[in-house]
Amino acid sequence: MNGENLRVGVLGATGLVGRAMVACLERSSLEFKDVRLWATERGAGSMMPFRGAALAVEAWSAGAHRHVDALLLATKGDVSRGVAPEAAADGTLVIDNSSAFRMDPDVPLVVPEVNPAALSENRGIIANPNCSTIQLVAALAPLHEAARLARVVVATYQSVSGVGREGLMALEREESGEDPGPSPFAAPIHRNVVPQCDAFLEDGWTREEWKLQVETRKILELPRLDVAATCVRVPVAVSHGEAVTADFHEALSPGDARARLAASGVHVEDDPSVSLYPTPAAVEGRDGVFVGRIRGRPESPRTVHLWIVADNLLKGAAANAVDILECMVFHG
């Protein structure tokens, strides 16, 4: 893929993730020959700024992917399933943010700082992991390299933007005392926490919890890793938090964990003496994964406890997709 004459497109450009993708492309080091933005009929016709110009958002039509070399999808799974295979068959690289292809054995599921080698296995479609999975594996991978993961227990604190603009609007209506109307949440979200993200499966786990479990195993190439998740929606606009207990096969001290994380590029903000740790509000708008509250217990030297936070629209979606694109351009 030629980095100097790259033609790139974003489908779903007017949604929360789509807008973040456009912003990440604008800030990237890539040089573009052409940038095309598409949306459904409802979002088409608007203008979006890009590197000193204004780009028109076009209505998507069959075959539009032929205008670009790489297509970023910020769409629902049903749309991705219709668009991605046809685009890939025509030679367009597809980076899909939906869950449509994540568990397809022929589609790599990639966090570039964790498993970039998987990109070489692509057949034209690359899947962007779930937002909560991306930040989890980015923190776990360097620790696994040091001490070999045995078990992971995670409780997520997921912002309302994880379900899109509808989630933000629902929270705003409840905060203002307006009639909440239809809500994407199973219970009131203002001044509340809801222990349900996505629909329940027959076994009592939610689909979000299932995604976090199976995606973590696939990315880390640990198909038998014991992963248990409880995913909770909280009244926060942007950024997800995760309280994680990680058990290892070998001893790992909190100090070693901090050093490993920092060396891997994770932002370590961890000083209890001054109450230093990442929070969703502080991380919003910042790329990367942030970790604090790193601690252990003398009676359990192979267990590390940590707190992970990331902007779910950036690192959890758009920035990771653009990182994948940059890896494909700069490193093949």
- Catalytic residue numbers read 131, 240
The residue type of 80 is S
Q: How far apart are CA 12 and CA 60, in angstroms?
A: 9
Q: How far is CA 210 from CA 95, 194, 253, 324, 331, in A?
A: 22, 17, 30, 24, 32
Q: How far apart are CA 22 and CA 72, in angstroms?
A: 10
CA-based nearest residue to 302, from 252, 231, 234: 252
Taken as a whole, the chain contains a residue count of: 332
Torsion of the alpha carbons at 102, 127, 215 and 187, rounded to the nearest 10: -80
CA-based nearest residue to 9, from 120, 83, 115, 103: 83
Task: Assess contact for 243 and 252: CB atoms under 8 A.
Answer: no
Terminal Cα distance for the chain, rounded: 7
Full DSSP string of 117-176: GGGGG-SSEEEPPPHHHHHHHHHHHHHHHHH-EEEEEEEEEE-GGGG-HHHHHHHHHHHH
Q: How far apart are CA 75 and CA 127, in angstroms?
A: 12
Residue 60 is given by DSSP the state: P
